[in-house]
Structure 1
Amino acid sequence: MVPRPYFDAQGRVLPFDQVMQLEIIDDRTFRSTTKAYSPTGGENGTYGGHVYAQAAWAAAQTVDEGYLIHDITGWFTLGGRPTEYFVYTVHKIRDGYNYCTRTVTVTQAAEKGTMFTCTCSFKRDEGSPTDFQHRVDLKGHYRVVLEGKEDEPMEHPVAPSNDSVYFRETYLPQHPEHFNPIAGLHLRKVDMKRYNDVRMPLDRRQLIFYTLRGSLPLPTAPYPPISATFSVTREANLHACAHLYASDRNSLFIIPNHLSLGREFTRMASLSHTVIFHVGIKDLVMPAEPRTNHPNADPTLFDEGSLPLCNLEPYGRGDKDGRKWFVQESWTTRAAGGRGLHMSRMWDYGSGTHIATTIQDGLIRFKPGTKL
């Protein structure tokens, strides 16, 4: 038996909670049920963000209510197989009062060994007399590429299955029938040409907007978390995992794209990926997707038996359809020795809150003789 596909015969795409669904094997072992996204659309390679986010969700099953993931580092050791399940084994490192730590090892074909491992840290919500961050007026700073669409991110193009120059300029024109939507989230890639053309490679940026497909369980009790006292549910971690899922999308392609070497690389693969959340659950809530099919988006396969959750004010504000958007701002700082570095900040697009920072070390090799 193979995992469930991430879209059906009518082209309806699975919501995030179904993408992350786990089968319980025992109190520390879990198995995926849905096929991981395969960027090539074939049987080789899976999207690293799937195993990354689902490993965190598996770890969350073993911590007490009240703990929310705030830091995860993962190492990719073998390529994923989209036709096989992921098996997650969680190991308890420590349970403290404010923090607890887990490691997760992931296998597919057992004889091949571990294909991914990560360390996750969870913490209790706590207040602070200080709240300091670098302020960026995203709409103003990136006006040249956002103008006319600044309040409607869905008007930007869908983030491609594969953000290589070859895929965009050669494969897609030759395969107009290509259909391979990523499940769980709507992701939109901003055309940064007018911003990047006048900048040096290390000053170039990429913006990817993302918003939830479907709806998620309540992250706090009571909800919304506007009272002085509230408790964080285990399901709050599913909201955080949606951000983790978005954090790795087409990340390493930024390196050759920003270096103007899009056709010069020969191999690329993630080595390690770290996400650090700077905020609590109030700023990570993923409100439900409106049950309105946007003309520019593939429809979501809604569960008709469930009701949209997490759609109460002030969390239901967003675009004209009510979608709440987040945005990842990415760049590269280094490429040498067969490796490259991808970095990003993840923002609440509406409020300007800096919710997370990411850093990814990747394998990237260029053709002999390649020069900037």
Structure 2
Amino acid sequence: MAWNTPMTFIDLMSLEALNSEPGDEKFMSVKPSFCPDGGFGSAFGGHVYAQAVWAAAQTVGEGMVVHNVHGFFTLPGLTDRPYVYEVTHLSEGKSYCTRNVYVRQPVAPSPPARSSSSERRFEIEEGKKVLGKICFSCICSFKRDEKETFQGHQGVSAQERWKEILGKRDGGSWDIAPGVDAPWYTRQASNTPLSQLPVFPGLDIRKVDMTAHNTSDPLNYRTLSLYRPFGTLPVSQPNLHACAHLYASDKNSLFLVSNALGFGDHVGTMGSLSHSVVFHVRIEELLFQEERTKGGEKGEWCIQEASTSRSGQGRGMHESKIWNSRGVHVASTWQEGLVRKADRIENEKQRLLWEEGMRRGGILGGKGKL
């Protein structure tokens, strides 16, 4: 593994079936989702986003692979209890089928963990308890591969456009993507041993240094993230590969907006409102290739190239393109999120919540030194 011993993506996406009646399938997450402060704050939204699609994928026929997801976040996810996924069949066809997924969590937290978050497993009884309100919902469409009847098109690849910055460096040589992509977090994390920071599970995500490109112009601001799964993903499960891309697409997404606008140190409230992803390619082009790197590790590095096109009214847009290592434009993403600037230090909710979680975990003492 590249650092510490992170959970594999297969393990992270594990599901238990609660009800397998056709048209009324229910599944429960087995592993806790990531939280940058160690589990005391809100869960990483990419977990429920990707796993909702993985749950829906359990209900489709062979050869049906997700190509379109529209998700809405209505309540913060909690890391001390499982997600319960309720899948409804909206349409069935030879080439396309559609699913709706409602996600809830138990009203009461699960019993205290007896092990680390990487080893913890929710028991199936937890998913049968009284559930709260819907915290996430999505409509996802699946389709079969088809023979091209016209020549597809795409723009210049990220590898080509950013070749002067990317150079010939291996993906693993870039810094690990921060738990929170904000200046205050970077300063604090630099004073904290890596072994004490919560380990992001599932994917190895690296942040490319774009300092040479980024200026004070928000429309010109860019982030590049390189990522690949921890562990091997079976070629026979293309929907699992697609879910890895979905999971990566939400990592630190909205922090791009506050950083581009120049108030990364003064974020008040922030949270995803909606997130849409469209896959453009054949199955073989969204699969992670099992190529061995110079360091002896397997797996190609895919690239997420992100920007922000508009902000206002306490909201911001995060848009990105996902490219595989062969320069193929795999997917496009559009995310709208709540992004508010804090007018006073005591209103910097993102930072204060993280500090409180780290203090409760015994990692950060006192009020914290930023």
Asked whether 1:155 is paired with 2:173, we answer yes
State whether structure 2 residue 9 is matched by structure 1 residue 16: yes
Q: 2:114 — aligned with what? A: none
Residues 203-224 of structure 1 show CA distances to partners (whole Å, capped at 9, x for unaligned) of 12100001121112232xxxxx
SS at 1:195 equivalent: coil
One-letter amino acid of the structure 2 residue matched with residue 257 of structure 1: N
Q: Which residue is equivalent to 2:39?
A: 42
Q: CA deviation at 1:319?
A: 5.8
For residues 127-276 of structure 1, the aligned pairs below 5 Å read: 127-149=147-169, 152-169=170-187, 171-176=188-193, 178-197=196-215, 200-219=217-236, 235-276=237-278
- Please state how far the C-alpha of 1:174 moved relative to its aligned partner: 4.5
**Alignment correspondent of 1:299:** none
Distance in 2 between residues matched to 1:128 and 1:317, nearest whole Å:
31
Matches within 5 A, 1:41-190: 41-109=38-106, 110-149=130-169, 152-169=170-187, 171-176=188-193, 178-190=196-208
CA contact (8 A) 2:50 2:247 kept: yes
8 Å CA contact 2:8–2:230 kept in 1: the answer is yes
Question: Shift of the alpha carbon at 1:96?
Answer: 1.3
Check if 1:355 corresponds to 2:341.
no
Instruction: Structure 1: state its 5+ residue gaps.
Output: 1-6, 220-234, 288-310
Q: 1:172 is aligned with what amino acid?
A: A
- Report sequence identity in percent: 39
Structure 1 residue identity aligned to 2:158? L
- CA drift of 1:173 comes to 3.9
CA 1:59–1:140 in structure 2 vs 1: closer, same or farther (change >3 Å)? Answer: closer
Residue type of the alignment partner of 1:331: S
State whether residues 51 and 243 of structure 2, in contact with CA within 8 Å, keep that contact through their aligned partners in structure 1: yes
1:364 to 333, 336, 339: 339
Compute the RMSD of aligned alpha carbons.
Answer: 2.0
Deviates more, 1:37-46 or 1:331-340: 37-46
Residue 229 of structure 1 corresponds to none
State the Cα deviation string for residues 134-175 of structure 1 (Å, max 9, x = none): 3324344223422352xx011000001111122112x22453
Q: 1:319 to 1:330 in 2, by over 3 A?
A: farther
Q: Secondary structure at the match of 1:46?
A: coil
1:323 corresponds in structure 2 to 299
Cα displacement string for residues 163-207 of structure 1 (whole angstroms, at most 9, x for unaligned residues) = 1122112x224533532121111100001000113x622012100
User: How far did 1:318 drift?
Assistant: 5.7
- Alpha-carbon deviations, 1:322-352, whole Å to 9, x = none? 4311000000011100110000000012x11
Letter in 2 for 1:330: A
Give the alignment's TM-score, normalised by structure 2. 0.80
Structure 2 distance, partners of 1:286, 1:134, is 20
Separation of aligned partners in 1, 2:156 and 2:14: 36
User: Offset of 1:26 from its aligned partner?
Assistant: 1.1
| Distance apart, 1:60 and its partner CA | 0.6
Q: Distance in 1 between matches of 2:208 and 2:314?
A: 28
User: Following TM superposition, by how much is the alpha carbon of 1:258 offset from its aligned partner in structure 2, in angstroms?
Assistant: 1.2
Which TM-score applies when normalising by structure 1? 0.80
How far residue 239 of structure 1 moved from its aligned partner, in angstroms, is 1.2
- Output the amino acid matched with 1:75: F
Q: How many Å apart are 1:261 and its aligned residue?
A: 1.7
Structure 2: distance between partners of 1:319 and 1:285: 21
CA change 1:159–1:147 in 2 (3 A) is same
Q: Mark the CA change 1:139 to 1:356 in structure 2 (over 3 Å): closer, same or farther.
A: closer
1:336-351 correspondence runs (5 A): 336-349=312-325, 351=326
For 1:101 and 1:318, locate their aligned partners in 2 and report how far apart those are by CA, in whole Å.
38
1:17-48 deviations in Å (ceiling 9; x for gaps): 11001001111000011110112223221111
Q: Which amino acid aligns with 2:220?
A: D
- Specify the alignment match of 2:123 in structure 1: none
Task: Give the distance between the partners of 1:319 and 1:354, measured in 2 at CA.
Answer: 25
Contact 1:144–1:194 (CA under 8 A) maintained in structure 2: no
The answer as to whether partners of 1:58 and 1:88 remain within 8 angstroms in 2 is yes
* Contact map agreement 1:67 1:123 (CA 8 A) in 2: yes
Asked whether the 8 Å contact 1:142–1:195 carries over to 2, the reply is: no
